[in-house]
Copies of this chain bind each other. A is one copy, B any other.
């Protein structure tokens, strides 16, 4: 065991950092466009309409598959001027339930990286979204034993990070967060005086986009680079 004392605690985002998530939303969106096409006037951008519905429901229904599925149904009714048949809505509901039950697909190298960095750091899993779905993913991922503490947060903002760090008893300057979202995993952690490493995923939900944030932080092309990055940081 090395005595790398770069950080004491490393927090990991889950969706699109440890396992695939956005792919399923994109596939659902494609399916929505396919299914609704025959019931909408030509020229309507169905994907944009769905994203707008999601965005307008965000404060009421939050993140996650159930909120997304309700938005698909609502948008289907609106864009078709209520002409969409019930069996098409039934297909949208099936898409949602399939997303809720599909097996977790880990990203490459995840178990090895967690095992390696877990040897000399306390690890946290900090995710966002729906309580029942995230819990199912965590408990079936085979990764839960790597983490000292797991929390499903409503929002990843500075207040939430401060509360979690107080709870696990670590000062921000000994904390590193690793995740794919600059908005949720990087900026709020830098704001409270912690460190963060960005591991972009090839898909990013619109809502998580930020432009011109003006902050400096490290970016890795794969989680596999994390152990070496930590050794250099030590």
Q: List the interface of chain A (C-beta within 8 A of B).
A: 57, 60-63, 66-67, 69-70, 73-74, 76-77, 80, 82-87, 89-90, 93, 96-97, 100-101, 130-133, 135, 152, 154, 167
Q: How far is the CB of A77 from chain B (nearest CB, A)?
A: 5
Within the assembled complex, what's the spacing in Å between the Cα atoms of A76 and B85? Answer: 12
Residues of A contacting B: mostly: helix
Q: How far is the CB of A60 from chain B (nearest CB, A)?
A: 5
Q: How far is the CB of A78 from chain B (nearest CB, A)?
A: 8
Within the assembled complex, what's the spacing in Å between the Cα atoms of A9 and B62? Answer: 31
Within the assembled complex, what's the spacing in Å between the Cα atoms of A26 and B90? Answer: 24
Taken together, the copies of this chain in the complex come to 2
Q: Please state if B77 and A89 are interface contacts (CB–CB under 8 Å).
A: yes
Which residues of B have CB within 8 Å of A85? 82, 86
Point out the residue from B74, B84, B90, B100 that lies within 8 Å of A93, measured CB to CB.
B74
Q: Please state if A90 and B61 are interface contacts (CB–CB under 8 Å).
A: no
A70 and B61 contact, Cβ closer than 8 Å, known pairs A82-B85, A85-B86, A130-B131: no
A100 and B60 contact, Cβ closer than 8 Å, known pairs A77-B93, A154-B132: yes
Q: How far is the CB of A168 from chain B (nearest CB, A)?
A: 11
Of all A-B residue pairs in the complex, the 4 with the closest CB atoms, nearest first, are A62-B132, A66-B66, A82-B86, A82-B87
A152 and B132 contact, Cβ closer than 8 Å, known pairs A93-B74, A100-B61: no
Which residues of B have CB within 8 Å of A96? 70
Which residues of B have CB within 8 Å of A90? 74, 77, 82
